[in-house]
């Protein structure tokens, strides 16, 4: 059974204070690891898919990295509009059916 | 362009009532997923369609839950004889291949 653990549960940052969110996973045959952003009252918004260890992807102030056991979402010089819950998910085997973690709630203060 | 839409956005049901939740995916998206999200939790998989075929329904919590996508586009999630534990946000997502999923805004179901 696939498992995903995200830490910390909540993170408060000052604007411009860089940090990282962690996603530890256990999976039999990784098909893909996904990062989503979710704002209150909305559905998750796709950010990245990582397929193999060593892969990195970037989008604006966000950079996602992947090892065989965990993924990090690095946030560089965050702004208040980066405040959201960040969800990590993994899919294994022959399908893209994801198992989600509980998310990290990020608040960036101006 | 239009994204994934869901209706209704909010639904209040009395325990024992049947409800139907609708999902309009992005045009041309082959894959469609339904999830249940409890407060403070990540989405939990319910069922998956590829076109009109329901390929996986392993996440449906009981036989009171039923989903269909008869023409390979719009999908409906039906919950019969609702119970309080069914209260949650129900999310629909569509995708071309499955790896990049586009989510709708969700339907918040409250069972009294």
Confidence of residue B2 (pLDDT cuts 50, 70, 90): confident
A97 and B48: CB-CB below 8 Å?
A: yes
Query: In A, what residues contact B, Cβ < 8 A?
Result: 4, 32, 34, 36, 41-46, 49, 87, 89, 91, 95-103
Q: Whole-number mean pLDDT of chain A? A: 96
Confidence of residue B1 (pLDDT cuts 50, 70, 90): low
pLDDT at A80: 97
CA distance A90 to A41: 23
Confidence of residue B111 (pLDDT cuts 50, 70, 90): very high
CA distance A84 to A95: 28
Residue A46 burial (10 A CB sphere; 0-12, 13-18, 19+)? middle
B45 and A34: CB-CB below 8 Å?
A: no
Average pLDDT value for residue range A26-32: 92
- Which residue, among A56, A64, A59, A108, has the nearest Cα to A82 in the 3D structure? A108
**3-class SS shares of chain B: helix, strand, coil, % to 5:** 5, 50, 50
Chain A residues near residue B45 by CB distance under 8 angstroms: 97-99
A100 and B100: CB-CB below 8 Å?
A: no
Average pLDDT value for residue range A66-70: 96
């Amino acid at each position: 059974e696939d498992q995903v653990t995200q830490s910390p549960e909540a993170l408060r940052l000052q604007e411009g204070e860089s940090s990282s969110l962690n996603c530890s996973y256990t999976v039999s045959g990784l098909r893909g690891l996904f990062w989503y952003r979710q704002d209150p009252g909305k559905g998750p918004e796709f950010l990245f898919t990582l397929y193999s260890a060593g892969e990195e992807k970037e989008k604006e102030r966000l950079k996602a990295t992947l090892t065989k056991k965990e993924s990090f979402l690095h946030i560089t010089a965050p702004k208040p509009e980066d405040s959201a819950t960040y969800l990590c998910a993994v899919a294994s085997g022959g399908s893209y059916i994801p198992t989600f973690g509980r998310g990290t709630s990020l608040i960036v203060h101006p | 362009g239009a994204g994934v839409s869901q209706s209704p956005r909010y639904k209040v049901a009395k325990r024992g009532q049947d409800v139907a939740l609708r999902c309009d995916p992005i045009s041309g998206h082959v894959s469609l997923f339904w999830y249940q999200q409890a407060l403070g939790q990540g989405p939990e998989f319910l069922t998956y369609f590829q076109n009109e075929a329901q390929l996986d329904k392993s996440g449906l919590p009981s036989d009171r839950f039923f989903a269909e996508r008869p023409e390979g586009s719009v999908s409906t999630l039906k919950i019969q004889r609702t119970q309080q534990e069914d209260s949650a946000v129900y999310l629909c997502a569509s995708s071309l291949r499955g790896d990049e999923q586009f989510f709708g805004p969700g339907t918040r179901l409250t069972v009294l």
